[in-house]
Amino acid sequence: MDRKIDYKKTKKRLDGRKMDETRPLSIKTGVIENADGSAYLEWGQNKIYAAVYGPREVLPKHTANPLKSVIKVEYRMTSFSVPQRKRPGPNRRDQEISKVLGEALSRAVFVEQFPNTEIGVYVEVVDANAGSRVACLTAASVALADAGMPMRDMVAATGVGKAYGELVIDLNKDEEDAPDAVDIPIAILPNSEEIVLLQMDGLLTRKEWDAVAKLGIKGCKQVYEVQKKALVNKFELSEAKGKGQATKTVKKKAVKKTVKKVKK
Amino acid sequence: MRDTVMEYETAKVLKLAREGKRVDGRALDEVRKISIETGMSENAEGSTIVTIGKTKIIAGLKIDIGKPYPDNQDEGSISIGAETLPLAHPDYESGRPSAQEVELARVVDRGLRESKAIDFKKLCITVGEAVWVGFLDFYALNGDGNLFDAGSIAALVTFNNAKLPKLDKEGKIILHEYNGTLKLARQPLLTTFAKVGGKIMVDPTYLEEKASEARYSAATTDDGFISAMQKGVGGSFTLEEVDYMIDKSFEIGDRIRKQIKQVK
Amino acid sequence: MKKVVIPGEILFEERKRLGSNVFVSEGKIYSKVLGITDNENETATVVPLQGPYVPRRDDSVVGVITRENFAGYGVNINSFNECFIPKSAMRTPLTLGDVIIAKVSNVSELKEADLTFPKRMGDGEVISVNPVRSPRLIGKNGSMLDILSQGTDCEVFIGKNGRLWARNGDLELLKKTVKFIEENSYKSNLTNAVESLLRK
């Protein structure tokens, strides 16, 4: 990108967003039937599947921890998820991300409740555009809740940083390539605002850090609201309807709709 | 939560098979419901999600410029890879491709390549210098048997809808711009059978595969050719059984090809 | 009033008697899991909507024999660990794939369960359900179990570990009804809805 982009002048980002606006985020649960818990997440162009298996026996047995469950995260990307084909098999970046994601989640899950077991968390990126690791962590947290795992809080994550002269939330790929880009993936436990994931690439002043940290925590809390909706929306606390009762309510709803239209 | 005790469940499958019945009530020659979705991975030059019953896979194609092989200076190439992600089933392990994954990829590849559906000469950019090289990788997202046929459908649909990248004046790929498609000469599809309790059943589920003594796949085309065959697992088939399976493959292949035609 | 809560969601800001699946932090009570809570309840408790089977003493379970060695049998009870039954505990020998019912007599710190009173079940079918929803299948004092067996003419045994064993009667209707209870376990009016399903 040779053009001199200056967010301080344009007041809008390359994709039209405000500085503190995240890309659209949507989450669905229960998408992988074989798993104990699962989620499908879309964040901007990012598309991610997350699945949880466990708690289950650890093999080999001698690697089990008699005091708690071990959370094992595998972060992977399909070969076609990125513009330049990614060769199959985990690379060093995959391994590092798997490790920090596992560490973030292990602070949230009550692992002491399931000694001698492991909880397998698998996240697969099938389309990527910056921020895949925070998207995966967000999805993994939802999949863990979907599996009924006991947690002290959800793990909500987002990216913050700097691009083209301004502090921004949720950098996209174009912004990651900015000459002054700073990328900070951050994740918190929303209740306590404890930070369970924090990494940084780039140069920031102390003042910039203070501002961007606040922005990050605020962003994580917005992500938390989406996670909550995804989990809760599946369960309607209505009356159970047996034979013959379901159709009645459906008819009623349909009638109500048409009446509204006529009135307009 | 899924609870399968392999020994108990496969015993059930065998018992029913001996009576010519299946756990899900299907006829021996009945294929599960198939759904096909395309275009979800924007970074790919083509992508498809196929579900057969509860089996779900995602395939994606990356096309890049490569150097032709010395004895085929005017031909491009394709390569097919497969992964049974641990995401998709509690029994799938991560790590180096297993013998099963390698066989899966090679059989799907064989059906497509040997049918001469893709004219590799059409993939030539500059003779002796630059050719199109396509990598199609498919991944299991939820494993319930018959990844062969799911992979075959996904590969065919992806290649049918593939977009060739646009080249700039210097012959370099322009990201996210396309120019042309691959026009396949024919539509090969795999149909896979398992021999369970002595009975031949098409489109086996995961448990039926586990209970089977032999497996057979045939690739057939819309213009009456058989383009590949593979017998797998132990056990054996009589010639009558193979002839029966070939006939069924044409019948089922034609039906699925009709469904594929309606996918945009 | 009932509410769906997620892990870490705050339930009460004051002291209350503590039930299951909740924890206290800085004087406030939070949910540990995805589940249903009722703030009119005297006890702060959450009924999980999802989750594994964790064996508890006195649970009745449906097990499947998965292994055999010279000393006894390995039993899968749909939990993190397999159980073991010594050959001396059975009057007649068991084979792989056999279904048994048993009682959990003791659970170790590692959640390993000891089984007593194993009984081999004959030809029947094992139906799997989400283990945390199985209490609704049993009902208060076995009331839902009675409705199920009477409404389908099936011989039914329900384990706490997310498994039922059943035979005779209308097994298809039983499976359908069990699935309905599982999907609607957290809703009100469940008993009436189930009875309407079973009415022929």
Tell me which residue in B1, B2, B8 faces C64 most closely, judged by beta carbons: B8
- What values do phi and psi take at B182, rounded to 5? -90, 130
Q: Is residue A139 part of a domain?
A: yes
Cβ <8 Å between C162 and B11: no
Which pLDDT value is given to residue A245?
Answer: 55
CA C149 to chain centre: 17
Report d(CA A254, CA C42) in Å as an integer. 40
Q: Look-up: residue for tokens 């579900």?
A: B51
Q: Is residue A1 part of a domain?
A: no
Which pLDDT value is given to residue C115?
Answer: 94
Any A CB within 8 A of B142 CB: yes
What tens digit of pLDDT does each residue of B195-254 get? 999 999 999 999 999 999 999 999 999 999 999 999 988 889 999 999 999 999 999 999
Phi-psi region of B130 (alpha: psi -120 to 50; beta: other; left: phi over 0): beta
Q: Is the pLDDT of residue A248 over 70?
A: no
Chain C nearest-CA distance from A92, in A, is: 32
What tens digit of pLDDT does each residue of B65-77 get? 999 999 889 999 9
Chain B nearest-CA distance from A143, in A, is: 12
Cβ <8 Å between B43 and A83: yes
CB B49 within 8 A of CB B88: no
Which pLDDT value is given to residue A251?
Answer: 40
Chain A: touching chains (3 or more CB pairs < 8 Å): B, C
Which pLDDT value is given to residue B2?
Answer: 56
Any A CB within 8 A of B193 CB: no
β pairing state of C113-121 and C99-107: antiparallel
Which pLDDT value is given to residue B95?
Answer: 86
Domains of chain C: 2-48 (2.40.50.100), 60-121 (2.40.50.140), 125-198 (3.30.1370.10)
Which pLDDT value is given to residue A137?
Answer: 98
| SS3 state at A96 | helix
Q: Give B137's contacts in chain A (Cβ within 8 Å).
A: 78-80, 88
Is the bond preceding residue A60 a cis peptide, omega within 30 degrees? yes
Any C CB within 8 A of B175 CB: no
C→A contacts (Cβ < 8 Å), by residue, are 2-4, 6-10, 21, 23, 25, 30, 32-34, 36, 48-52, 80-81, 109-111, 132, 180, 184, 186-190, 192-197, 199
pTM: predicted TM-score of the whole model, two decimal places: 0.90
Which pLDDT value is given to residue A253?
Answer: 41
Q: Is the pLDDT of residue C179 over 60?
A: yes
Q: Give B58's contacts in chain A (Cβ within 8 Å).
A: 78, 126
* Residue with the larger pLDDT of the pair B78 and A3: B78
| pLDDT range class, residue A171, cuts 50, 70, 90 | very high
- What values do phi and psi take at B190, rounded to 5? -85, 145
Q: Give C77's contacts in chain A (Cβ within 8 Å).
A: none
The pLDDT of A107-132, averaged and rounded, is 96
Any C CB within 8 A of B25 CB: no
Q: Give C95's contacts in chain B (Cβ within 8 Å).
A: none
Report d(CA C43, CA C20) in Å as an integer. 9
For helices C143-152 and C190-198, the axis angle rounded to 10 degrees is: 10
Average pLDDT, chain C: 92
Q: Look-up: residue for tokens 């003779």?
A: B127
Cβ <8 Å between C97 and B7: yes
Q: Is the pLDDT of residue A201 over 90?
A: no
Domains of chain B: 6-261 (3.30.230.70)
Most B CBs within 10 Å: which of C128, C133, C172, as the mutation test of the B interface? Answer: C128
Among A141, A139, A188, A158, which residue's Cα sits nearest to residue A22?
A158
Q: Is residue A107 part of a domain?
A: yes
In terms of Cβ atoms closer than 10 Å to its own Cβ (0-12, 13-18, 19+), residue B175 is: exposed
CB A13 within 8 A of CB A162: no
Tell me which residue in C50, C51, C76 faces B5 most closely, judged by beta carbons: C76
Q: Which residues contact C88 (CB under 8 A, 6 or more apart)?
A: C72
Any A CB within 8 A of B81 CB: yes
Establish, for the pair of chains B and C, how many residue pairs have beta carbons separated by less than 8 Å: 26
- For residue B228, CA distances in Å to A16, B81, B191, B222, B249 come to 51, 17, 10, 14, 11
Q: Is the pLDDT of residue A256 over 90?
A: no
A→C contacts (Cβ < 8 Å), by residue, are 36-37, 54-57, 66, 108, 110, 114-117, 144-154, 189-192, 227-228, 231-232, 235-245
Torsion angle in degrees (nearest 10) through CA of A15, A21, A24, A28: 160
CATH number for the domain that contains residue A142: 3.30.230.70
Q: Is residue A68 part of a domain?
A: yes
Cβ <8 Å between C162 and B3: yes
| pLDDT range class, residue C109, cuts 50, 70, 90 | confident
Q: Give B143's contacts in chain A (Cβ within 8 Å).
A: 34
Q: Total domain count for chain A?
A: 1
Which pLDDT value is given to residue C97?
Answer: 85
Q: What is the ipTM of this complex?
A: 0.92
> Which runs of consecutive H residues, i.e. helices, occur in chain B?
6-18, 99-113, 147-160, 206-211, 239-261
What tens digit of pLDDT does each residue of B100-146 get? 999 999 999 998 988 899 999 989 999 999 999 999 999 999 999 99
The per-residue DSSP string of B30-59 comes to -PPPEEEEE---TTSSSEEEEEETTEEEEE
Domain span including residue A69: 7-263
Which pLDDT value is given to residue A16?
Answer: 94
Cβ <8 Å between A228 and C6: yes
Among B148, B159, B157, which residue's Cα sits nearest to residue B249?
B148
What tens digit of pLDDT does each residue of C140-167 get? 888 999 999 998 999 999 999 999 999 9
Report d(CA B66, CA B137) in Å as an integer. 18
Which pLDDT value is given to residue C123?
Answer: 84
| One-letter identity of residue A126 | V
